[in-house]
């Protein structure tokens, strides 16, 4: 009886969330009735696909056409107007809540409230209401991880493959679950009381069975790289791969901003103080190495210097552009990394090692400092946090406040550039 009542409450809360999302979408569509920022390229391309034109490609678009294919069914029901296309991401976000809930249920029994709070991550939630690739890509990767947890590896590989059609870096996370799958087989086979030769045969058979789908995805991606002569579609000059190690610090700053209730917990602070007093030389050497690497492998993309519509423009200009602040931030980064490790250490060293590797592969080649690149790695971490009630409440209140502020500024505080007085500009993540 209690379980039934709990499910009814969860359903009511989810329905309330759907109502709020639809209300916000209506406001966004009324206040921003024309494509904004990257929507200018995505909307035009999607409308071509809706009209059956698959041969024309906007050279400014750098990601595959998964978003446009996902909106194609809309054309069977109605015209692919801006409002209709934006509704695609609303559907993806609502599906993301359900998929996150299933993952949390698998990892630790949890209510849907946690998943609703997680999806409210401000950078993630903001792009629910614009026609960007983020919600669709996240849905595919969440589905992939859920199938992986359930041991349905071919469905996981298929979901990861679909994610690549939204964003090329999804292939890194296919590699992530493939490595986790293989490591589980290695750990199991090592414990078997059989000869070494039989262990090898067993491992080979099990690995081929469960990792074959991931391998096919990897091979197909290599074929794509060969045919495309690189990973980027469209505007390659603005999206060159570099070794931008300072992005690691940027990600840790992002994690601090949006994971503060967990990172700034008293237990984490006490553990860090204990670690720092026991190993001060380790902290000093790590700080010097990180500072040297970050300072010698730092890039400032021309877009960030020229485009004052993004919050990262002001974070860089007023804070991170100053070397003295970057020096102090190194210690902050070490603290955040230590706390994140504490938050997910129950997952084991193998999981953490592959997560760190895949996160670095994803973010380090990116020259542009943009919060959207950090959303998926942080979501993966957050799904594994063991939370306390007061932390969840603090997280929810912080996210709601930040979302209210950023949406208010975006919708009701437009401005114009002097050199382009005919177009309205808006602040956004």
Q: Does residue 5 register a pLDDT over 70?
A: no
* Contact (CB, 8 A) for 124 and 373: no
Structure tokens at 307: 């485009």
Structure tokens at 62: 């750098």
* Contact (CB, 8 A) for 403 and 125: yes
Residue with tokens 């230590």: 338
Out of 10-24, 137-151, 225-239, 353-367, least confident range:
225-239
In a domain, 376, yes or no: yes
Q: How far is CA 260 from CA 99, 233, 374, in A?
A: 24, 36, 15
Closest CA to 29 of 429, 413, 411: 411
The pLDDT tens digits of the residues spanning 166-182 come to: 999 999 999 999 999 99
> Rounded mean pLDDT of the chain?
94
Average pLDDT over residues 34-38: 95
The pLDDT tens digits of the residues spanning 312-346 come to: 999 999 999 999 999 999 999 999 999 999 999 99
In a domain, 298, yes or no: yes
Closest CA to 46 of 85, 93, 88: 85
Structure tokens at 45: 């391309």
In a domain, 155, yes or no: no
Q: How far is CA 86 from CA 67, 116, 133, 286, 428, in A?
A: 11, 20, 11, 45, 17
Q: 173 vs 423, which has greater pLDDT? A: 173
In a domain, 107, yes or no: no
In a domain, 137, yes or no: no
Q: At what angle do helices 170-190 and 134-149 cross, to 10 degrees?
A: 10
Q: Domain total for the chain? A: 1
Whole-number pLDDT of residue 2 = 52
In a domain, 331, yes or no: yes
State percent of the chain over pLDDT 70: 99
* Contact (CB, 8 A) for 426 and 368: no
- Domain range for residue 349? 240-383
Cα(198)–Cα(219) distance, rounded to whole angstroms?
A: 28
Q: pTM higher than 0.85, yes or no?
A: yes
In a domain, 308, yes or no: yes
Q: Give the rounded distance of the alpha carbon of 82 from its chain centre.
A: 24
Cα(403)–Cα(386) distance, rounded to whole angstroms?
A: 24
Cα(84)–Cα(81) distance, rounded to whole angstroms?
A: 5
């Amino acid at each position: 009886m209690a379980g039934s009542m709990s499910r009814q409450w969860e359903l009511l809360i989810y329905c309330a969330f759907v109502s709020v999302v639809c209300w916000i979408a209506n406001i966004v569509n009324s206040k921003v009735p024309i494509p904004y920022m990257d929507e200018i390229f995505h909307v035009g391309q999607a409308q071509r696909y809706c009209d059956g034109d698959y041969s024309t490609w906007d050279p400014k678009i750098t990601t595959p056409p998964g978003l446009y294919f996902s909106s194609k069914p809309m054309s069977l029901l109605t015209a692919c107007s801006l409002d209709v296309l934006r509704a695609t991401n609303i559907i993806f976000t609502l599906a993301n809540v359900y998929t996150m809930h299933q993952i949390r249920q698998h990892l630790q029994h949890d209510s849907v409230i946690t998943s609703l709070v997680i999806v409210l991550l401000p950078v993630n939630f903001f792009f629910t209401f614009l026609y960007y690739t983020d919600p669709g890509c996240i849905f595919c990767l969440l589905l992939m991880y859920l199938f992986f947890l359930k041991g349905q590896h071919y469905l996981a590989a298929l979901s990861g493959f679909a994610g690549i059609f939204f964003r090329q870096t999804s292939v890194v996370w296919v590699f992530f679950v493939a490595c986790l799958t293989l490591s589980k087989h290695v750990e199991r086979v090592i414990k078997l009381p059989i000869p070494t030769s039989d262990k090898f045969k067993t491992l080979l058979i099990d690995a081929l069975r469960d990792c074959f789908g991931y391998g096919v995805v990897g091979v197909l991606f290599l074929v794509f790289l060969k045919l495309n002569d690189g990973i980027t579609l469209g505007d390659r000059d603005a999206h060159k791969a570099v070794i931008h190690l300072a992005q690691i610090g940027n990600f840790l700053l992002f994690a601090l901003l949006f994971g503060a209730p967990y990172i700034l917990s008293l237990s984490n602070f006490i553990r860090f103080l204990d670690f720092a007093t026991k190993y001060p030389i380790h902290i000093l050497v790590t700080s010097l190495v990180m500072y040297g690497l970050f300072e010698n492998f730092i890039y400032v993309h021309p877009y960030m210097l020229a485009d004052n519509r993004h919050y990262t423009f002001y974070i860089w200009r007023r804070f991170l552009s100053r070397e003295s602040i970057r020096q102090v931030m190194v210690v902050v980064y070490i603290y955040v990394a230590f706390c994140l490790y504490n938050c997910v250490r129950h997952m084991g060293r193998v999981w953490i090692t592959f997560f760190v590797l895949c996160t670095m592969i994803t973010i380090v080649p990116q020259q542009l400092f943009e919060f959207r690149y950090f959303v998926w790695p942080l979501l993966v971490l957050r799904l594994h946090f063991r939370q306390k009630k007061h932390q969840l409440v603090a997280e929810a209140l912080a996210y709601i406040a930040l979302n209210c502020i950023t949406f208010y500024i975006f919708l009701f505080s437009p401005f114009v550039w002097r050199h382009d007085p005919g177009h309205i500009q808006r602040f956004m993540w």
